[in-house]
Each structure stands twice: as structure tokens, then as C-alpha cells.
Amino acid sequence: MAKTNLTINIDKALLRSIKVIAAQNDKSVTALLTEMMEARAKQDDNYERAKKRAIARMNKGWDLHFKPGSRDELHER
């Protein structure tokens, strides 16, 4: 897979925290951020697919075999 460089501007304290997290996980900052961004992209993709499936099911609906009674039957006391 082809890679490209990305330049970002973040707060120094945040960068320091990211470096610590990367070191604790024995990874580079680049590897850590790439992993996090891939996970987020996959999460969003999974959500969108699930959303589309749910909407398709709602649009299709289910046959509940409901047969309404007559008005008199419904209002019978």
C-alpha cells in the first residue's frame, strides 16, 4: 500500500502524552496514530454498513399476519 506524509499541528502536551503512550506500547508515534486512525475508519465503515442493513430491513418490513377486525368488533364492549 502506498503511503504519504501527513503534517499535523497539535499541542505540545498532547504530543508528549502520545509519545509516552507509543513508548508504553513499544510503537512509534506514526504507528500508534496510524493504528488509531485505521480503527476509527473501520468503526465508521462498520457503523455505516449496519445502518444501511437496518434501514433496508425497516423499508422491507415484516409480515405480522395482522388482520384487523371490523369496526364493530374493535369497539365491542
pLDDT in tens, 7-32: 999 999 999 999 999 999 999 999 99
Query: Average per-residue pLDDT in the chain?
Result: 91
Between residues 76 and 28, which one has the greater pLDDT?
Answer: 28
Give the pLDDT confidence score for residue 66 in this predicted structure. 84
Contact 18, 32 (CB under 8 A): yes
> Whole-model pTM?
0.62
Distant-in-sequence, close-in-space partners of 19: CB < 8 Å, separation ≥ 6: 29
Look at residue 76 and tell me whether its pLDDT is greater than 80. no
Mean pLDDT over residues 21-46, rounded?
A: 95
